[in-house]
Amino acid sequence: MTRTEAIALAGRYGASQEMPEQMRADVRLLGALLGRVLQESGPEGLFDDVERLRDATISAYTDDTPEAFARAEEIANGLSGPRAEQVARAFTCFFHLANLAEEHHRVRILREREAQDGPGGPGSAAEAFSDLADEIGAERARERLRGLRFHPVFTAHPTEARRRAVSASIRRLSELLDAHDAANAAAEATGIQRAMLEEIDTLWRTGPLRQEKPSPTDEVRSIMQVFDDTLYTTVPAVYRRLDDVIQPDAAGTAPPIVTPFVRVGSWVGGDRDGNPFVTAAVTRKAAAIASEHVLRGLERTANRIGRSLTLDETSTPPSPALRALWAARAAADDDAAAEIAKRSPGEPHRAMLLLIARRIVATRTRDADLAYADASELLSDLRTVQTSLAEAGAARHAYGQLQIMIWQVETYGFHLAELEVRQHSAVHAKVLRELASGEPLSDQATEVLDVFRTVARLQQRYGLSAAGRYIVSFTQSAADLVAVHELARHAVGPEGTPPVLDVIPLFETFADLQAAPGILAEVVQHPEFAARLAQTDNRLEVMLGYSDSSKDVGPVAATLSLYEAQSLIAEWARESGIELTLFHGRGGSLGRGGGPASSAILAQPPHSVDGRFKLTEQGEVIFARYGDPMIATRHIDQVTGAILRASAPSVELRNRTAARDFADVAATMDAASRERFYALVKADGFAPWFATVTPMEEIGLLALGSRPARRGLSVESLEDLRAIPWVFAWTQARINLAGWFGLGTALEAVGDVGRLREAYARWPLFRTMIDNVAMSLAKADGRIAGRYLDLGDRADLAALVMDEMVLTSSWVTAVTGDAELLENKPVLQRAVKLRSPYVDALSLLQLRALRSLRAQEPGTDPDPDLQRLLLLSVSGIAAGLQNTG
């Protein structure tokens, strides 16, 4: 390896951690190009300083001696301020390139598996459907398929540390890496490498930190990128894959068996809980932006299909219904119809599709004379064309690309994603008190009422599917839910009609989760809830908060209490004849309910899924799961398969039996873990100590999102801190406490390794918990964690954290039977081990800045250069660990 390649990860560990050769080649190439850019564009000596720190952190990681670690610290602390910033940026650039290489290789592997196994490979929806049909019969399996629903909801929670400009540069590099793989000649490859050098130079020169927080509208546009790049085409591709397997001979030539089962929701521009910048005007704009994107997509699709549908009327005669449709639509737009007919002589199906495209444009531009009233009217026109093609014998045209467009309209409508509103129950109570007082309303009360009027307007403009779900944060009583309908009536006045609302409780704390079944039983008796249930065939949605429950009682007790709450709510719903959808408020990190979605679904209580799964997707998770078409297809396909499997009688029996057989283990773990967690977070002075030993305060300075990081101005109370910075701060400190603290004590309280190993083998919830904690601990680092804890003056709390980390690691490996963490997941273990020394370099730079900031005199303004170094390191560590909040 040449000196300019030395920054690459490859070749630093033993054979067990070796990269696949193709990925090694990608990392080596990208590392070499970055090294060249640093030498060409970086200040003199920068590359040498990067090399010195890199070599030292690798030695410290592999040697694991105090002397080696001290040497790495000495180098990090000895850099000048400006040079430390430059080194931090260099390591951050490297992580962006390493992440790109990993994602590129993942896509490569997925393509190879697809070529080998087809769409029905292991873990796929097609395989799950086949297994389900074997278990319950083909007709019942098809019935389950027809009732299937996967409902991701994108949120603007501030957990994406990368700037959009950086993301755009990485996307361009990804395309160049694809082209490099396909290059057939050395000259072509050289030209592509030259373009990659230019792009990496752009990445290096692009400021990694946002100068200003994004506005809610900026966040909406960022999410639209995912729709444009992947979701619009990926979701119908998933439907097609599944249909191909279910009816292999007829797929594409007969009506599909698969009906659209994906619905997309969005909180971006709708979630105003704690975010004063999300106003009714922002909500209206968010809906308009989303509609603009989907209508432009449908317009392009209709034009593309129309231009290709050059089937003449002698070979493919139009049906009477198609002729009648043409006559009606042409009469309303005679000039355009005449021009289209002139360009499509004797091609009635082509002409009709092009005229449909014209009406979609009119819908987008709000031409009242020509616009479609709603998406169902467009669907009717498309189905008329489809039926005409099928009757004329052109089945492949009827059920090919035209079917894809029909699926797109059925999935996205004219609104793209249902815009969900969320507000805190305390805000509703305050506004109701104002209304009752008869005094002039505050600006906040006026805004709250305007939201209901906005929802009504959105429903009139885009249809009921565009908006109507209203989530009540911190639901603690049935009155909190009834308040929403009362406010809606106030908003429209006695003569107005309130919007159609599906009011969704969000149970977040441990106490609220315990009270949930009683609250639900009470609220469904309320007249407006009962009326809505009657309108929707007794459908009800309930949201569960993973983040605050974990911060409330610790990750172990929260996991167990969430399972119990789901089980009780599902049992109540079945007894009450209610079709329940549980909405999982999961974050990206393990401390906020994150982790692999498929294993989480398969660990749910019986009847808590029943073919329907809804969850929040946020921050870096959105782009990791949905940013690449191949990865998005695989993710949706696997989640769909898990949803189908979760309702299989065998899976429900397994989960029910395991929960019963290990109820004593769960009870012991719950009590022990909670006591241990309370010993830490309820200790006097814990909150300010936490703010001292982590970069929690500084994280609030990052321009990650429009939403404030704290509910108040003080960190004296943990309740004032949102779950995202709670998790983010522990992650940055290389402790990851929010994902594992208390588990070691819980397992030791059980004490029986044999019984715990039996639970790991038979109880999916326990296995998922153990595997997630192993991942969380593997990304932690005890030596670096100790340095962060040394920033505080509470040796007792520091010892509590470090003792629990050691205890948890010991018990997790004992339960899994492995010699070290993640030994049973070698690919993940390799990725963590290869990254860790490079993350260590950034951690040492962050510690240097944090230590100096903490040493400043109280009341003085923080040193801006130190703050900038710290924020640069935060961005880099987030990229290296691929986790924020």
Q: Among residues 362, 234, 364, which one has the least CA distance to residue 293?
A: 364
Instruction: Evaluate whether 334 touches 303 at the Cβ level (below 8 Å).
Output: no
Among residues 96, 104, 105, 157, the one annotated as catalytic is 157
Contacts for 282 with CB less than 8 Å, ≥ 6 apart: 216, 217, 269
Instruction: Evaluate whether 512 touches 499 at the Cβ level (below 8 Å).
Output: no
> Which residue(s) pair with 541 in the sheet?
581
Among residues 96, 104, 551, 779, the one annotated as catalytic is 551
Q: Among residues 482, 458, 541, which one has the least CA distance to residue 151?
A: 541
Residue 192 in tokens: 């592509």
Distance CA 517, CA 558 (A): 17
Distance CA 710, CA 693 (A): 18
C-alpha separations of 840 from 30, 60, 191 in Å: 21, 9, 35
Residue 708 in tokens: 């404030």
Distance CA 318, CA 355 (A): 15
Secondary structure (3-state) at 542: strand
Torsion of CA 325, 326, 328, 329, to 10 degrees: 110
Distance CA 18, CA 521 (A): 56
Write the DSSP symbol of residue 710: B
C-alpha separations of 864 from 16, 197, 587, 851 in Å: 44, 32, 31, 14
Q: Containing H/E element for 585?
A: strand 579-585
Concatenated DSSP letters of 423-457: EEHHHHHHHHHHHHHTSPPPHHHHHHHHHHHHHHH
Distance CA 502, CA 523 (A): 13
Write the DSSP symbol of residue 711: S
Strands 265-266 and 467-473: unpaired
Instruction: Evaluate whether 561 touches 549 at the Cβ level (below 8 Å).
Output: yes
Active site (annotated) includes residue 833? no
Residue 631 in tokens: 């990865």
- Distance linking the first and last C-alpha atoms of the chain: 37
Write the DSSP symbol of residue 152: E
Distance CA 581, CA 559 (A): 19
Q: Containing H/E element for 869?
A: helix 864-881
Active site (annotated) includes residue 151? no
Write the DSSP symbol of residue 254: B
Concatenated DSSP letters of 718-751: GGGB-HHHHHHHHHHTT--HHHHTTHHHHHHHH-
Q: Containing H/E element for 502?
A: strand 502-507
Q: Which amino acid is at 3?
A: R
Distance CA 41, CA 45 (A): 11
| Residues belonging to the active site | 157, 551
